[in-house]
Amino acid sequence: MEGRFNPLDPLGVFGAVKKAVTTEAERIAAGTKRIGDTYVPPPIVPEVKATSSEWLAQFDPKTSARYKLVLDKPRMINRQPNTQAKYVEEAVANGAIVTTRRNGRRVLQHPDGRFLYESDLSKVALDYAEFLIATRK
């Protein structure tokens, strides 16, 4: 069979390919990747040290009370019961940023590309996220 012409492999390249003989454990130990490996290590994000009470202290008492009600109101975010304050704190701790999309709308964007528009959260939540981002740097 070696001397025969194969129309699917005119140069004889495919017959020369040899299968790797390393085991999966050896491959992992060597740090080599397989085709299709998509693991990306999580980004290293500085720890957030600010709290919502520090952010609310910069406003007058009436505005501060209204913003606190907005942040602490229980609601469903991504089909999970949560408050806006906790969601934003977790997102910023995991590397989320506040950006403006090409359509002019502000979003809370996660490192993996997911995002929530300002209308999905609230203006107060995104302002709080910007405060947390500014204090972690």
Q: How confident is the model at residue 20 (pLDDT cuts 50, 70, 90)?
A: low
What six digits make up the tokens of 74?
A: 């229980």
User: Per the domain annotation, does 37 fall within a domain?
Assistant: no
pLDDT at res. 80:
85
Does residue 130 lie in a domain region?
A: yes
Q: Is residue 127 part of a domain?
A: yes
Q: What is the pLDDT of residues 36-80, one digit of tens each?
A: 565 566 666 566 666 777 888 889 999 999 999 999 988 888 788
Residue 71 inside a domain? The answer is yes
Domain assignment of residue 35, yes or no: no
Tens of pLDDT, residue by residue over 78-131, are 788 989 999 998 899 888 999 999 999 999 999 888 899 998 889 999 999 999
Whether residue 126 is contained in a domain is answered as: yes
- When divided into structural domains, the chain yields a total of 1
Name every residue whose Cβ is closer than 8 Å to that of residue 94 and which is 6 or more positions away in sequence: 42, 45, 110, 111
Question: Contacts from 63-68 at CB under 8 Å and sequence distance 24+?
Answer: 67/124, 67/128
- Expressed as residue numbers, the domain containing 105 is 52-136
Judge whether 60 lies within some domain.
yes
Look at residue 19 and tell me if it is in a domain.
no
Pull the structure tokens for residue 118. 């300002």
